[in-house]
Structures are given as structure tokens and as C-alpha cells.
């Protein structure tokens, strides 16, 4: 059965009604455990460093979920009242080191031009086509290879982005005072929170818990964002060939995670539905798949099959799929002299 993305998008409008009570509950069951585990970790450090560090991973999982609430707030999908979405998002941004208004704009650019080869701008993982890569000088090819290396993309990159890059309105520094206000207000909030926690628990205990927690959560978040768009049969097109609904449905994956991971990631793996209608609250996305079973197999990835995506680096316009550097080398060897 061939899906009509535009028709599906129209049917999804009925799901985009946030519930204030459900939103409040989701916020409580995410923020309260995060706070409790973090405090327990700082207390445990006084007895043995490893006891505290063992609690970092579950705290990071709740921090990822809190970021997903911030993400829904940025789309106006968490509460019905826009100012409540905005202020909850801004407060969460202090904990996730993500300036809300600045990030919301960048993420909106990503949604508006996802899959458009001639609009690869702010808010997305950098991708080159095979021909673009071949046209680069060797030093820049090495730079792109380094950027796409998993240790950089999912290790150093997320740490740099959340700890350093988000401290300035990169990409919007000449777009007026609003990006600067968003970033600097978030920075002040982060500084106030950090100083307060250090005064209560001590400088070293705070750093030993918060920094690893943030690094783990950032890496997990970047991996999720990556695998939601960087899979073999994703969608990229140029000019008039690009279509918003086609890009949403076929350029975003259905990352079919185990139930516990689905809960901690707030159903963000149902990403093709999210891109078709970003106003659907994350707790209603599973209902969409139940009511629209044909969507379950579109762009489906499992935890196991998603691992291969880490090696996909270049868009091959001739075959319309992502390929790896290794496959590019094979293609070069197969070409006649």
C-alpha cells in the first residue's frame, strides 16, 4: 500500500491536543526522580566515589527525558498555553544547558528544511553528497571524515555543543538581541544553579556527578537525533523535487526501541510522525501508530539495525541512499581506469 504523506498529515491533526493534566504529570514523574537520584548521588559520594558514580547513568536517562519535554515545549505541544510552554522550556533549558528560545529557532529551521539538499543550514548534522566530498581538497576531506567519526560525532561533539557551543548564539549572532538574551539568560541560570549546588554539596561532588551525567545525556541525545535522519534509505532532494510531507515521512525514521528506552526517550523514535505533525504531544505518538498501522514499517530501525547507521556518511544522489566511506572506496575501485 502506497502512503500519501499529505493525506496522512491531515489525519494526524486530531491528535495535536495537549492535556494540561497529563503534561503536569509527565513533568513531575521526570523531574522528581532526576532531582532525587542526583541528590542521592551527591550524598553517596561522601561514602564512596563509585556509589555516587553508579547513579550517574539513571540520572542521565531522566535528563534525556527532561530534554524531550523541553523539545515538546518548543513545538507548543506540551501545554495548550504558549507562555507556559515557553517558561517550562526555559527553566528546563538551565538544567539541559540548552537556551530554549535560541534552540527553538534552530530546531524550527531543521523542521522547515529537513531533507532539502539546497537548504542544509542550522539545526542539523552536517552531510555532504558524494560529489561534494570528491570535490573537496584532501585536507577538507580529512576534516569531514574526522567530523563524521563516531568518537567525535557522539563523544567530543555533544560535549562541545552542550557545554561550550550553547554558551553563545552560534549561527544567530547577527540576528538581533533575542538570541543573545536567550543564551545569556540561560547562562546566568546555569551559573546560579551551579553555585547553589556547589555550596550545598561541594565543588568536587557537584562536578563528579553533573559533568558525567551531562556528557552521557548529551551523547545519547545526539545519537537519537542522528539516527532519526541519518539512515540508509532516508530522503534528500533539491529544488522543486523536495516536498515537505515526503521529507517528513521518508526522511525521518521510526526508531522502534524497547519499551523502557521508548519511555526514557519520550517516544521521540516515532520521528516520522513527529515531523508530519510536530504539535502532537509525545504521549500521543504511540496512539497514532495503533490507529495508523501502515506507519509502523515506514523507515523502521531497531536498536540492533541502527548501529550500522553510525558508518553512513555521504548521500549518493545516483542511488538515493546514504553510503559509507568504505563503500565510496569500493565504488572508486570499480570504476574503469
Which of 121-135, 294-308, 311-325 has the weakest average pLDDT? Answer: 121-135
Which phi and psi (to 5°) does residue 269 adopt?
-65, -20
DSSP H stretches of helix in the chain:
5-11, 20-45, 49-54, 56-74, 82-96, 100-113, 130-135, 138-147, 150-151, 157-163, 177-201, 203-227, 244-250, 259-264, 271-276, 285-291, 325-334
pLDDT value at 315 more than 60 = yes
Residues 6+ apart with CB under 8 A from 90: 100, 101, 185, 186
The domain spans of the chain are 5-117+150-223+238-304
* SS3 assignment, position 284: helix
According to the model, what pLDDT value does residue 44 have?
85
Assess whether pLDDT exceeds 60 at residue 1.
Answer: no
Does the pLDDT value for residue 78 go beyond 90? yes
The DSSP secondary structure of 145-195, one letter per residue, reads HHHTSHHIIIIIHHHHHHHTGGGTTTT-TTS-HHHHHHHHHHHHHHHHHHH
According to the model, what pLDDT value does residue 49 have?
Answer: 76
Who contacts 337 (Cβ-Cβ below 8 Å, separation ≥6)?
Answer: none
Asked whether residue 271 carries a pLDDT value surpassing 70, the answer given is yes
Three-class SS state of 289? helix
Alpha-carbon distances of 13 from 1, 60, 133, 270, rounded to whole Å: 22, 33, 40, 16
pLDDT 10s digits, 96-115: 999 999 999 999 989 988 99
Structure letter (DSSP) for residue 305: G
CA terminus-to-terminus distance, the chain: 44
Burial of 3 (0-12, 13-18, 19+ CB in 10 A): middle
C-alpha dihedral sign at 257, 262, 265, 270? positive
Q: How far apart are CA 327 and CA 324, in angstroms?
A: 5
Distances (CA, A) of 22 to 33, 129, 212, 237, 282: 17, 43, 31, 38, 11
Beta bridge partners of 187: none
Distance CA 271, CA 254 (A): 6
In the block, residue with C-alpha cell 540576528: 175
CA 268 to chain centre: 9
- Which residue has cell 555550596? 199
pLDDT of residue 132: 94
Q: How many CB atoms lie within 10 A of CB 331?
A: 14
Is residue 332 pLDDT above 90, yes or no?
A: no
pLDDT tops 60 at residue 198: yes
Q: How far is 153 from 146, CA to CA, in rounded Å?
A: 9
Angle at 309 between CA 304 and CA 311, to 5 degrees: 120
Backbone angles phi, psi at 312, to 5 degrees: -85, 125
> Across the chain, what does the average pLDDT equal?
92
CB atoms within 10 A of CB 318: 9
What is the rounded CA–CA span in Å between residue 298 and residue 136?
Answer: 34
Amino acid at each position: 500500500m502506497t502512503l500519501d504523506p499529505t493525506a496522512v498529515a491531515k489525519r494526524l491533526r486530531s491528535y495535536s491536543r495537549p492535556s494540561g493534566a497529563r503534561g503536569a504529570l509527565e513533568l513531575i514523574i521526570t523531574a522528581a526522580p532526576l532531582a532525587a537520584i542526583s541528590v542521592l548521588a551527591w550524598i553517596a559520594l561522601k561514602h564512596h566515589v563509585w556509589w555516587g558514580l553508579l547513579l550517574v547513568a539513571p540520572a542521565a536517562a531522566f535528563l534525556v527525558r527532561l530534554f524531550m519535554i523541553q523539545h515538546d515545549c518548543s513545538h507548543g505541544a506540551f501545554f495548550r498555553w504558549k507562555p507556559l510552554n515557553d517558561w517550562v522550556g526555559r527553566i528546563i533549558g538551565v538544567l539541559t544547558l540548552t537556551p530554549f528560545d535560541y534552540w527553538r529557532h534552530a530546531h524550527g529551521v531543521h523542521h522547515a528544511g529537513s531533507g532539502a539538499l539546497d537548504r542544509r543550514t542550522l539545526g542539523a548534522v552536517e552531510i555532504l553528497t558524494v560529489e561534494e566530498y570528491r570535490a573537496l581538497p584532501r585536507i577538507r576531506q580529512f576534516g569531514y571524515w574526522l567530523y563524521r567519526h563516531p568518537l567525535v560525532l557522539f563523544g567530543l561533539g555533544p560535549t562541545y555543543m552542550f557545554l561550550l557551543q550553547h554558551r553563545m548564539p552560534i549561527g544567530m549572532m547577527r540576528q538581533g538581541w533575542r538570541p543573545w538574551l536567550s543564551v545569556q539568560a540561560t547562562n546566568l541560570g546555569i551559573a546560579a544553579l551551579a553555585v547553589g549546588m556547589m555550596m550545598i554539596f561541594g565543588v568536587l561532588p557537584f562536578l563528579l556527578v553533573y559533568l558525567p551525567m551531562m556528557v552521557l545525556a548529551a551523547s545519547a541525545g545526539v545519537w537519537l537525533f542522528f539516527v532519526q535522519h541519518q539512515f540508509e534509505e532516508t530522503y534528500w532532494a533539491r529544488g522543486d523535487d523536495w516536498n515537505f510531507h515526503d521529507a517528513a515521512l521518508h526522511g525521518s525514521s521510526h526508531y522502534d526501541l524497547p519499551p523502557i528506552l521508548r519511555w526514557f526517550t519520550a517516544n521521540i523514535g516515532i520521528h516520522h510522525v513527529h515531523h508530519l505533525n510536530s504539535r502532537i504531544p509525545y504521549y500521543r505518538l504511540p496512539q497514532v501508530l495503533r490507529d495508523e498501522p501502515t506507519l509502523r514499517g515506514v523507515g523502521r530501525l531497531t536498536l540492533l539495525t541502527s548501529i550500522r547507521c553510525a558508518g553512513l556518511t555521504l548521500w549518493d544522489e545516483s542511488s538515493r541512499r546514504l553510503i559509507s566511506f568504505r563503500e565510496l572506496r569500493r565504488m572508486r575501485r570499480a570504476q574503469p581506469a
